Amino acid sequence: MDGIFYGIGVGPGDPELLTVKAIHAIKEADVLIAPKTEKKDGSVALHIARPYLKPGIEIVYQVFPMVKGFEKDDSAWEANKAEILSLLRAGKNVAFLTLGDPMFYSTYIYVYRLLAQEDVEVRTIPGVPAFAAIGSRVGYPIVEGDDVLAVIPATAPKEKIERALSTADNVVLMKVYKNADEVISLLEAHDLSQQAVLVSRAGLPEERIIRDISAHKGEPLNYLSTILTRHN
């Protein structure tokens, strides 16, 4: 009998934010897939889930190239899919760990679509997205009443970001790192910088909270950086 494939959201950083369902699935797994970048060793998602791993569990690291190049060269993705399928066909339960929520700006979405083409059982378990954890962590209501919320990747084109800033009442900006100064300038131009709070690596030991974002222009930021803001 084939194993079950679990897509597990481990939240933004604090291991205590994993759901009971996620913890049960991790304990059911025979193999953990830990996604990692090509440039760095280790896996943040694995670090978060580590308190719940059973002794002797097999850990498989997989590198997933940037999604932008997926259509041009999907060989790495297909190789990862083949490895996962071989484990499932061997009767092993396989858990794929992902930061935040599996269906929210996640590599898992593409893995899910690849496996949906196959005759395997897939169970996706939601996790706490970073912006939700940050709102609670710093006491910042994300939306209330009839507020309209925009969730924007800071990696989006400038014009797209500006349109969202102009129309939404409240804003979540994720992946604020490479172009942080440009993003802060956009928030200043839309009168959104004074109300903003930036949190980097939420729930992890290196967590950083910045409330005066304009005073921190020019400083390097981690990829896992999120800004919450709202119009007055």
Give residue-wise pLDDT tens across range 96-112: 999 999 999 998 999 99
- Our CA angle for 140, 144, 150, nearest 5°, is 80
69 φ, ψ (degrees, to nearest 5): -95, 10
Residue 72 pLDDT class (50, 70, 90 cuts): low
Residue 39 has pLDDT above 60, yes or no: no
What is the structure's pLDDT at 137? 95
In this prediction, residues 73-81 reach a mean pLDDT of: 84
Mean pLDDT of the residues in the chain: 92
Here the tokens at position 186 are 């956009």
Task: Lowest mean pLDDT of 54-58, 74-78, 214-218, name the range.
Answer: 74-78
Two tokens, residue 89: 């066909």
CATH number of 4-125: 3.40.1010.10
**215 exposure class (CB count in 10 Å sphere: 0-12, 13-18, 19+):** exposed
Identify the residue with better confidence: 17 or 64: 17
Q: pLDDT per residue over 113-123, tens digit each?
A: 999 999 999 99
**Where are the domains positioned within the chain?**
4-125, 130-230
- Where residue 191 falls (left for φ over 0; alpha for ψ -120 to 50; beta otherwise) is left
Which pLDDT belongs to residue 70?
54
Residue 77 has pLDDT above 90, yes or no: no
pLDDT at 62 over 70: yes
Residue 229 pLDDT: 97
Q: Does residue 66 have a pLDDT over 70?
A: no
Q: How confident is the model at residue 37 (pLDDT cuts 50, 70, 90)?
A: low
pTM of the model: 0.89
Confidence tier at 30 by pLDDT (50, 70, 90): very high
Beta-carbon contacts of residue 94 (< 8 Å; ≥ 6 apart): 3, 4, 5, 6, 29, 30, 31, 32, 33, 84, 87, 88
| Mean pLDDT computed over 151-162 | 95
pLDDT tens column, 203-229: 999 999 999 999 999 999 999 999 999
* CATH topology (fold) of 130-230: 3.30.950
Residue 185's CB is within 10 A of a number of other CB atoms, namely 14
Q: Is the pLDDT of residue 13 over 90?
A: yes
